[in-house]
Chains A and B, each alone.
Chain A
Amino acid sequence: MSDYKDPLLQQETPKAAFQQIFKIWKPHVASLIIGVLFSLIALAFGLTLMSSAGGKIAFAAMGMMVISSVFLKILGAGRLLMRYVERLYTHNVMFKAIADLRVWFFARLSKGAAAGLGFRHSGDVLSRLVSDIETLDGLYLRLLLPFAGSILTFFVLICVIGSIHLPLAICIAVLYIIAGFICPLISAFITKRHGQTLLNSVAQLRITVLDFIHGLREIRAFGAEIRVEKLLNDREKNLFQKQYQQAKKIALMSFLSFVFSQIAVLLILAAALNIGFHGIGAAHIVVCLFLTITAFEVVIPLTRAGGLAGQIINAATRVVGVNKGHGYDVPKGSEEASEQTDIQLNSLGFQWNKDRPWVYRNLNLNIAQGERVAIIGPSGVGKSTLAALLLKVITPKEGSITLGGKDLAVLTEESVRKKIAWLSQNTHLFDDTIRQNLLLSYPQATEEELWQALSEAAVADVVKAMPDGLDTWLGEGGIKVSGGQGRRIALARTLLSKAPILLLDEPTTGLDADTEMEFFKILNQISSDRTIILIAHRLTGAEKLDKVWRLSNSCLISEK
């Protein structure tokens, strides 16, 4: 049907993305380089071992003892040990770097407006981003290290063979460059070019599958089973076609890389028979041959590794570009909010983007300290935008918002959020204990204060009845408690924060009617010196309110 762009998949250009990643990894540069050295030493052992073993037989066959057995044994043991040490060291370094990337990612995400009131972003997309970070370890472990290894091998090959016979060395060098650098590079380009179209095909398939799953009722009701199955089949075929095309191209590159490596061996064999290259000693030929075979073994997997480049580039651009286009500049304030907490909107105007229509203009509203007000309106009218403005997640394009007489623009974000506590259907309960969930809003809270907040939210009895009390594990998304209980625990957390203003953005969405009524009754009993701002698309009648405003056609109409 159509192309659909995921808002979270804003991408950075590959160049900028890698620059950013290397910036994050800067503290690890020394260790990363040491890791490369370790891996080169391990490789050098391998190269020497193979050519010496060949050499030993050759010399022995000619009745000479040039290479001692002890030397071979040392090489063998060295190769084994270095390889093990190198793998442990490089993985450890890489995981450290990945941990830093995770923290950076988290910090970056928390700065964007996406973080502020992340509505549209599904857990699925986020989890894919998390696995993208894991993919990035391939950048060092699977691309950079093998590439460094192939460069070392290249020089060893040239030097050793070059010292024996220069024309042969040049021929083999050319073949090595083709098999070890050009073929992998081409396969990297192939995957990079196919990467985007492949991603699109997967996205298309995913959308169709999501439509299929969520639309199961519609499909059954309209008897559309066969049509949908056909559509799914087409989408999959489209993806498979692209995957197969890419596989074909990479396979061709692997084939070429292999053939060129064998041509190198062929040249040496020809030289052995005195064809093409003349006058190379028998033992030297054997050394060259074993060295060449081992060297080309290093590069043949590179072509396939080059195929990872596309995947890694995509991962990098997605990880680094996570908040691109969502980072709304909010002026950095320096002042602390005052004790007094009247809120005023002064001819407020806001639009998300210059080319998008105004959400509202010339909006005026006063909410006095301790007042209970509701702002209602149909979905899409900008109610949640108002919440974001009040929380200083976004900033007005026209007019201003004042809190206790001070413009939000001059206040620090922290002090605004100390005054205004937010609760919505999107308020997340963490996969942690009830205690830890509560402490999030006020880490210094005493046991007494915790229970106080829980009983204010009318959930203390429920928690007391749980076997582990405050230390009960809530499970993912608070799955271990019912919807109503979860929302009340979230309310308790909000109350614990001591913020004088509670901003409740559709706090009962997803709850059934009885639970909703109960929630509002509890809300009505909360001490009256807090300001309560309720944002909803309709009222149930259970709310105790001083004023009700209806937001429609970009203006506020008083209803009560």
Chain B
Amino acid sequence: MQNNKAQIKLWTKQQTKIGKRAVFPLITLGILSSFVAVGLACCMAQILGMLLVPSLSASISFSPLMLLVSFVILFLLKGLIIYSEDLIAAKVGLQARHRLRKELVGHIMQIGPSILYRQSGGGLASLIVDQVESLDGYFSRWLPASVLWFLAPCIILVCIFFVQPWAALVIGVCGLMVPIAQAIFGIGAAVAARQQFLAMTRLQARFLDRIQGIATIVLAGRAEDEAKKISQSANELRLRTMKVLRVAFLSSASIDCAMIISILLVALMDVQHFTSAGEHGVTIPVVHALFALLIIPDFFAPLRSLALAYQDKAKLTGAAASVVELPEAPQLLENEVLLTSSDPVHIAFDEVSYVWDEQRGNAVDQISFEVQPNSTTLLIGASGAGKSTIISLLLGFIKPTSGKILFNGIDISTIKHHSLSALTAWIGQKPVIFSGTIKENILFAKPDATEAELQQAVQAAAIDQYISALPNGLDTLIGEGGYGLSGGQAQRVAIARAYLKNAPLLFLDEPTAHLDPATEQDIFTSLIELSKNRTVILATHSALGQQLKGNHIQLDHGRIIAQTEVK
């Protein structure tokens, strides 16, 4: 847990460091914007000064028209700064999200399929899509604001100081009150929030939980009671949220308060100054007083932006918690070996063990066997006997905890996985059908296949039998998760992929586990056809599968209990 916290801190620090480099143009623009604001306030103060004290016109070296023109130029400049700030911020956000997403995808790709045994696919997808999207504000708003909240007011304060030192002092002190007040209320809000946080998340989770189980509730005839309970929970959630907000609003009120106090003080002190001075003594200070008053909103604007962007900051910590949960990517080996596909492949298991979970013991327990080129091997056993683990080991999805798997005498863990995957075709229990057309799904195995090759694969997998019933034939669209194809139809797509790939090794992991007997028979007919002239390893516990000829290896609790050659 402690370790986790440190990792989260490290990751957020890294992100902040990378992000800060990108926001440099935004900070520059922000500073420029402060200077322009000073210029605008100057123009206004001068014009008003001339208006209020007509004798002043002589002592000011600018002509009225020039002041108006420079006002126009300055506000157009400020408008352009705002516009470019918006565009640059959008770009910065896009780049940061792109970088993060690319890193995450690369990381997961490197870990490979084994990550699915540890984390839910839905959670990973929402990390890559939604959480990364939600970080936009952190990079485009929070990071520049976190620098500018201090820098921009300082610049303005220095400008005020040159004009009217005591006004600068008043505004500076008021400005200083903001971070202090925010620290006090912020701590208060944090304490209140921490107290409420657990209760709040629990209530939110409760609502989600009830919605996910709504079928159960309705069919138990309890929908109305639950609606009442949800109403109570929602109200409780409101009361708790309000408790937090009561303090949180105080902290934003502190900015308002500081600004109003500085306006009042500056205005009242100016007035005192005017009334105590004589008619001629006040000429220049009127302009100065007005300038100090007019610039006050600009002085507090960066503090406001910081408060507004504060919620973006929390999102980074949220994302960090999900990122550090990802397992570490395996180290790339220095001298990886290529397997040439021309040689027939001989496979050997040498005392291989694999442990998924310490508590459940070895899933595969010191197994040794050999597979000759172009032979068929059957792994037979009940579920939990270790069949799927062996197939996953063969595919390189996981690495043996101990022992070695040798392909033509080379340790599998030193073989480049590209060259391994070039040699193997695999059909699992439930093939993943990607969103797209059936044709695209088959071509996934070999995107550059010719039309003739495609047709051959379609026929061999007997897809043409059901294709005629579909509206657009091979170009029929299939939705997420193979929606629209039955289990048998999806399995045929997987068979067609294997045909198209035409690899010398074929690994089959209970390809008919989710099918009814009639479909199972059909699929096996196609599979036997596919198995010709290939090295096949089939994991199965179906009676039909066990009728196949070849080397039958009986497994139980991760051990080989019998090995027979069936001819």
Which residues of A are at the interface with B, using a C-beta cutoff of 8 A?
1-5, 49-50, 53-54, 56-58, 60-63, 65, 69, 72-73, 76, 79-80, 83-84, 87-88, 91-92, 95-96, 98-100, 102-103, 106-107, 109-110, 115-118, 120, 122-124, 126-127, 129-130, 202, 205-225, 227-229, 232-233, 236, 240, 243-244, 247-248, 250-252, 254-255, 258-259, 262, 265-266, 269-270, 272-273, 275, 282, 285-286, 289, 293, 297, 376-380, 391, 393, 413-414, 417-418, 421-422, 426-432, 440-441, 443, 476-477, 493, 497, 512-514, 537-538
A interface footprint on B423-444 (CB within 8 Å = 1, 0 otherwise): 0111010011011110010001
Expressed in whole angstroms, the Cα–Cα distance for A126 and B395 within the complex equals 36
CB distance from B513 to the nearest CB of A (A): 10
CB distance from A318 to the nearest CB of B (A): 14
Q: Report if A427-B72 is in contact (Cβ < 8 Å); known contacts: A57-B267, A72-B268, A223-B422.
A: no
Expressed in whole angstroms, the Cα–Cα distance for A377 and B79 within the complex equals 69
Contact call A289/B263, Cβ cutoff below 8 A? no
Contact call A118/B214, Cβ cutoff below 8 A? yes
- Interface window among B226-234, B316-324, B527-535: B226-234
Expressed in whole angstroms, the Cα–Cα distance for A56 and B91 within the complex equals 45
Which residues of B are at the interface with A, using a C-beta cutoff of 8 A?
43-44, 47-48, 50-53, 64-65, 67-68, 71-72, 75-76, 78-80, 82-83, 86-87, 90-91, 94, 97-98, 101-102, 105-106, 108-109, 112-113, 115-116, 121-122, 124-126, 128-129, 133, 204-223, 225-227, 230-231, 234-235, 237-238, 241-242, 245-246, 249-250, 253, 256-257, 260-261, 263-264, 267-268, 270-271, 274-275, 279, 282, 286, 289-290, 293-294, 297, 382-384, 395-397, 417-418, 421-422, 424-426, 428, 431-432, 434-437, 440, 444-445, 447, 477-481, 483, 486-488, 497, 501, 514-519, 541
Query: Among the listed B50, B270, B486, B514, which residue makes an inter-chain contact with A57, where contact means beta carbons less than 8 Å apart?
Result: B270
CB distance from B200 to the nearest CB of A (A): 12
Q: List 20 A-B contacts (CB under 8 A).
A: A61-B52, A61-B274, A61-B282, A63-B274, A79-B260, A106-B214, A123-B122, A123-B212, A126-B208, A210-B121, A214-B481, A217-B395, A219-B109, A220-B396, A254-B82, A254-B83, A265-B71, A269-B43, A414-B221, A431-B206
Residues of A within 8 A of B395 (CB): 217, 220-221
Contact call A56/B279, Cβ cutoff below 8 A? no
Residues of B within 8 A of A2 (CB): 435-437, 477-479
Contact call B487/A379, Cβ cutoff below 8 A? yes
Expressed in whole angstroms, the Cα–Cα distance for A109 and B271 within the complex equals 65
| A-B contacts besides A126-B212, A272-B50, A376-B516, 9 pairs, CB < 8 Å | A56-B267, A57-B274, A88-B246, A95-B238, A217-B397, A243-B90, A273-B50, A413-B221, A514-B382
Contact call A255/B477, Cβ cutoff below 8 A? no
Residues of A within 8 A of B47 (CB): 269, 272-273
- Count chain B CB atoms within 10 A of each CB in A57, A219, A421 and give the residue with the most: A57
Identity of the chain A residue whose Cβ is nearest the Cβ of B216 in the assembled complex: A428
Expressed in whole angstroms, the Cα–Cα distance for A127 and B216 within the complex equals 18
Expressed in whole angstroms, the Cα–Cα distance for A88 and B382 within the complex equals 63
Residues of A within 8 A of B435 (CB): 1-2, 4, 207-208, 211
Q: Report if A269-B68 is in contact (Cβ < 8 Å); known contacts: A96-B238, A213-B108, A379-B487.
A: yes
Contact call A130/B257, Cβ cutoff below 8 A? no
Identity of the chain B residue whose Cβ is nearest the Cβ of A222 in the assembled complex: B445
Residues of B within 8 A of A513 (CB): 382-384, 541
Q: Report if A223-B220 is in contact (Cβ < 8 Å); known contacts: A57-B270, A106-B230, A431-B206.
A: no
Contact call A56/B271, Cβ cutoff below 8 A? yes
Looking at chain B's contact residues, the main secondary structure is helix
Identity of the chain A residue whose Cβ is nearest the Cβ of B421 in the assembled complex: A223
Expressed in whole angstroms, the Cα–Cα distance for A514 and B382 within the complex equals 8
Contact call B51/A391, Cβ cutoff below 8 A? no
Contact call A115/B214, Cβ cutoff below 8 A? yes
Expressed in whole angstroms, the Cα–Cα distance for A538 and B83 within the complex equals 65
Contact call A269/B44, Cβ cutoff below 8 A? yes
Contact call A286/B48, Cβ cutoff below 8 A? yes
Identity of the chain B residue whose Cβ is nearest the Cβ of A269 in the assembled complex: B47
Contact call B80/A72, Cβ cutoff below 8 A? no
Q: Report if A377-B516 is in contact (Cβ < 8 Å); known contacts: A56-B267, A95-B241.
A: yes
Residues of A within 8 A of B206 (CB): 431
Residues of B within 8 A of A497 (CB): 220
Expressed in whole angstroms, the Cα–Cα distance for A453 and B80 within the complex equals 73
CB distance from B80 to the nearest CB of A (A): 7
Contact call B51/A272, Cβ cutoff below 8 A? yes
Identity of the chain B residue whose Cβ is nearest the Cβ of A69 in the assembled complex: B268
Query: Among the listed B245, B293, B487, which residue makes an inter-chain contact with A88, where contact means beta carbons less than 8 Å apart?
Result: B245
Q: Report if A476-B515 is in contact (Cβ < 8 Å); known contacts: A110-B223, A243-B90.
A: no
